[in-house]
Amino acid sequence: MEMKYDIIVIGAGHAGIEASWIAASLGISVGTFVMPGVPIAETPCNPAVGGVGKGQIVREIDAMGGLIGRIADMAAIHYKTLNDSKGYAVRSTRVQVDKTLYSKIAEDILVKNKNIDVIRKKITRAQKEDDQFVLMDDKHNSYCCKKLIICAGTFLDGLLHTGDEKTDGGIINADKSPALEDLCCFQQNQKKKRFKTGTPARLDKYSIQWEKLKEQPSDSNAKTFHMFNNADLRINKQISCHITKTNEKTLSIIRDNKDVAPLYNGQIKGVGPRYCPSIEDKAFRYIDRNDHQLFLEPEGLDINTVYPNGISTSLPKDVQEKFVRTISGLENTKFIQYGYAVEYDVVDATSLDGSLEHNEICGLYFAGQINGTSGYEEAAAQGLVAGINAAQSIRKRPKIIFDRNCCYIGVLIEDIITNVLDEPYRLFTSRAENRLYIREDNTVLRMYYYRKLLGVRQEIDKFQEDFIKQQNLLSILCNEYFYDVKESTKEYFRIHGYGNINKRMSLKDLLKRADLDPVYVLKTEINRIGACFNDQVIDTVAITKKYEGYINRAEIEFKRMDKMDRMSIDWKILSENKKISNECRQRIGQIRPKTFSQLRRINGIRPATIAYIASYCST
């Protein structure tokens, strides 16, 4: 049997479903392969979407027509706004989802798309023949495609560790995929690494003493992800999460068992994520600290498992039982699944360009954890980028490269393709130079340009066009609506806590007052004036006006840098330039930067080299 598609996607995790969906929405035929027995869009670690930096990227994917925000809202059982006490620029939405429901919704969406075939087969081999790829499954069926997107997650030669128990698999109770070099037989020289990630035990919710724990109810003020949804929409019953802490006894047990910890006795070779450490890492990295906070997060409404966020581990089962039962509220807990670590192959993402296409193998794309990242959101963003650009290529349209100054998708992609990763990459707001601008509230404004590049007109495009029109009208209103100095105005300001008014001022200037919440003020004034605007538009305009001065100053600097950053460079010429140190030439030859922006972010490039290249390329 031979089946032909425009695009084949290997893997139906968060990267795979985004790649499949966005390509299919552009009229491209897609074959999506998922390992037998593995749920589509599985959440094998914490079933949560969003977080600091991650909430922003979920909204960006949504604004491009992606799935993750839409599915998260449909499966959400707990909402929270992180950094709620801080400025709007760093606030982020996080949603706990029902893991079973999340996968079911994702599968329903994919199988109902007429341009997608979901194929539950294990791909064992892929090779390139002329201008197409030929794939073989474990039943010796063959499949052909013009473009291939590999989104294998943690499955490439996956190996699970719990103590000295080792099991093949990408996640628990699932098979593994072949090693990278065996799957991609045309890539014998492809550089690869072994990374590691892990997950904690799953606990029986009926065995937990909830009364001992601090409750965290779902936040009714947190906003939904999907742009079409009302901000306060709650489709499912909302439940609470709870907080507890480790203690000296907990950490003593872990430290006393270092010799049986796969992370420390040499059993695990892969590198784990620094910013999402296991409890073993915490025990030995922070030797003077014993009270590590953990969140008990239910994994669904109709399932009994609870995810103890903060104690990821690969220790032996008996040691897991001992240390977990020293924690307040968990003294009598029952284990439904033990924690484990997984080692897997990752590619060197510096071999990819900004579209996530391989620099040397035309039509081959990689997306997700296979590129050395961690997190569902980072994977989904990469799937979107790869899916868009594979489809663009088939449609004979230009590649779409996301700018790091405009979106977190751009930050993510440029970071991973310009640096050799020595650990799983995680997105943070601190990685973005322009984070005052790339906020959650103004996502539609920022992503509208990229959405238009797709050259389609769908429901989402009509929504965004109306959003832009409303935003422009409200912005004009804020600039042109004035308050005169008179007794009635002074009294009105006093009643509403707006402060003093000593001279005629605009609504825009009122929104900029340091001690006022701009969203509250603008909603209040819009209601008083009797105007009607979308709540999302009000949020965007209010916060933009608040930060306008900072944004304008930053924009001047970014424009100055942007002109140079966009400058094309010839990495081949630079890698042979004897005026550049041998070390820097080697790094340039390895990364192959196409722009000055990519070049100056390569780890190990000396400031003097950057200055020389800037001068050299400007002449």
What CATH number has the domain bearing residue 22? Answer: 3.50.50.60
Measure the CA–CA gap between 307 and 304, rounded to whole angstroms: 10
Per-residue model confidence as pLDDT tens digits over 573-595: 888 888 888 878 888 887 888 88
Tokens of 233: 């929409």
In a domain, 93, yes or no: no
Using DSSP's 3-state secondary structure scheme, residue 494 falls into helix
In a domain, 95, yes or no: no
Same domain, 507 and 369: no
The predicted pLDDT at position 141 comes to 93
Exposure letters 380-412 (e unless 16+ CB within 10 A, then b): bbbbbbbbbbbbbbbbeeebbbbbbbbbbbbbb
Residue with tokens 């009598």: 332
Same domain, 189 and 207: no
Cβ neighbours of residue 178 closer than 8 Å, sequence gap 6 or more:
124, 125, 156, 157
Please state the separation of Cα 13 from the chain's center in Å.
13
Cβ neighbours of residue 129 closer than 8 Å, sequence gap 6 or more:
none
In a domain, 74, yes or no: no
Count of C-beta atoms within a 10 Å radius of residue 567: 15
The predicted pLDDT at position 597 comes to 82
* Domain carrying residue 601: 566-618
Contact 316, 259 (CB under 8 A): no
- DSSP percent split of the chain into helix, strand, coil, nearest 5: 40, 20, 40
Same domain, 153 and 7: yes
Instruction: Give, in order, the Cα–Cα distances in Å from 266 to each of 3, 113, 161, 163, 604.
Output: 44, 47, 12, 12, 29
How many domains does the chain divide into? 4
Per-residue model confidence as pLDDT tens digits over 437-476: 899 999 999 999 999 999 999 999 999 999 999 999 999 9
Same domain, 545 and 523: yes
The predicted pLDDT at position 185 comes to 75
Give the bridge partners for 347, in sequence order: 192
Low-confidence ranges of the chain (pLDDT < 70): 1, 186-190, 275, 557-558, 561-562, 604, 607, 618-619
Instruction: Give, in order, the Cα–Cα distances in Å from 583 to each of 362, 415, 577.
Output: 29, 20, 12
Same domain, 107 and 168: yes
The CATH code of the domain that includes 476 is: 1.10.10.1800
Can you give the C-alpha Rg of the chain in angstroms?
A: 26
